Amino acid sequence: MPRGAKGGFNTWWTTFGQGPRAALLIHCSLAEVGVWGGMARDLSGALTMTAFDLPGHGRSDEWDDRGEMSAICAGIAADFAQDDAPMDVIGHSFGAVVALRLAIDRPELVRSLVMIEPVFFAAGLRARPDACAAHLADHQAFEAAMAVGDLALAAQGFVVAWGGGRPWSKFSADQQARIMQQMPLIAAASPALYDDVGGMLAPGVLEAVNVPVLLLEGSDAPAIIPAINEGLASRLPNARRGVIGGAGHMSVATHPAQVSSEVLCFLRDV
């Protein structure tokens, strides 16, 4: 389980599986590499997977505000390519947005792209603003809590919206404290997710991502997620969509077999 500089950031990573294809796994905000455990078992015959802890997560160094977060994370991801050979890249939530940024910034490193519930809110707001009202209310409440330094209120709201249905009260005191500590990471990602500071929605950018893309969402996902995937699928030239029945936002942890099955079907085709 190595640790070293990736993209100029002190990063911890691990590997899963012994399959013939190299893959990179990028987790969601507030998670760590262990979230991929269930899927890794199902994918181990097809993929040799590298998974790393994002800045401020797991055993990687704390986030130090050195730049725009999604760009830094995409740079870290790029450094996991072996001899600049292309990889199958699988990302969940914020990790899916980082995966998309990698495919745009370094297309030669991405052989295929799986985005599981990407939280690229700007894409959903442009595609279907009618589906985004509830999310915008939640986000405004989060911003208000952060503005007055109420990390507990911000964390509770975030977990209710994106924690896969687990109540705040079911987290231990230590877990609650850690989640509260990570709320500035959520705020740091907002410019990429809401304001598209990376310019991924600029004319022609998504259309140039010509690798095969799979967009997955849970049937019980927040309403903005289908809007995001609709917006992305309309512009990515080789995209397909899939739905994980009965799953919410944390399908990689709650429904790993179903998600893995969709990924394996996709990989067989590409």
C-alpha triplet 191, 192, 197: angle, nearest 5°: 80
Give the CATH number, domain containing residue 227.
3.40.50.1820
Q: Identify the CA nearest to 252 among candidates 20, 34, 47.
A: 34
Instruction: Answer yes or no: is 138 within a domain.
Output: no
Q: How many domains does one find in the chain?
A: 1
The pair phi, psi for residue 47, each rounded to 5°, is: -130, 145
Instruction: Answer yes or no: is 151 within a domain.
Output: no
Instruction: Answer yes or no: is 157 within a domain.
Output: no
C-beta separation of 53 from 12 below 8 A: yes
C-beta separation of 70 from 198 below 8 A: yes
Report the 10 Å Cβ neighbour count for 70.
Answer: 25
| Ramachandran region, residue 65 (left: φ > 0; alpha: ψ -120 to 50; beta: rest) | left
pLDDT score at 100? 98
Instruction: Answer yes or no: is 27 within a domain.
Output: yes
Q: Work out the pLDDT band at 164, boundaries 50, 70, 90.
A: confident
Instruction: Answer yes or no: is 106 within a domain.
Output: yes
**pTM reported for the whole predicted model:** 0.96
Percent of the chain with pLDDT over 90: 92
Cα–Cα distance for residue pair 94/91, rounded to 1 Å: 8
Instruction: Answer yes or no: is 39 within a domain.
Output: yes
pLDDT score at 70? 97
Cα–Cα distance for residue pair 94/115, rounded to 1 Å: 10
C-alpha triplet 232, 97, 73: angle, nearest 5°: 155
Range of the domain at 9: 3-128+190-269
Q: Work out the pLDDT band at 251, boundaries 50, 70, 90.
A: very high
